[in-house]
Amino acid sequence: VGVRHAQQAMTETSGVARTFGAAARFLWRRSSSGVAKAGARPQMVDVGAKAPTIRRARAACRVLVGPEVAEALALGKVAKGDVLTVAEIAGIMAAKKTPDILPLCHPLLLTKVGVECRLDREAGVVEVVADVSCTGLTGVEMESLTAAATAALCIYDMCKPITKGIVITDLRLLSKSGGKSGDFERAIDE
């Protein structure tokens, strides 16, 4: 009766069950079957003992839009409007929502989020760079990666009526500073 009751609770239509139902049912099956090992359970790590430090992370990606889309972007002729400005705003919004889509990320009070989308018309590429800062207990790498990825997705969304062949590539952390793990700077040729 206990297992059946728990499984039924997982399938209820409450907001939590609708949002996390499949994941919760998967975890229930893993833990009740004994497959999950001690310490392997998903958890948000405890950062409470850390001292707040200034954190900064920069991430980037490339959107290979091709010549037709690059021309439309350069001339401001995309039907949905100013693609690069909207993409920058989408990236900023996404950085603030990172814990809502990556369930083990800590909510952070971000002090700065900047996203820049630069068109290389000749190459048919948009380079997206996100820069995120906070003073906090944990880093902002995921927020910067989420901002860059979301800006790229926004470019795809707004330009897909022109071509579906757009490619989002090279999502990467460029640098991070602050915190116990120290600084990271990607080599230029990486």
Strand order in the sheet with 125-136: 110-120, 125-136, 53-64, 167-177, 184-185
Catalytic, out of 46, 100, 120, 157: 157
To the nearest 10°, the Cα dihedral for 59, 63, 64, 67?
-130
Does the annotation count 170 as an active-site position?
no
Cα–Cα dist 165/78, whole Å:
16
Residues 146, 147, 148, 150, CA torsion sign = positive
Sequence-distant contacts of 73-81: CB under 8 A, at least 24 apart: 73/119, 73/121, 73/126, 73/159, 74/119, 74/121, 78/158, 78/159, 78/162, 79/161, 80/157, 80/158, 80/161, 81/158
19 secondary structure, DSSP code: H
Structure token digits, residue 32: 């009740």
Catalytic residue numbers read 157
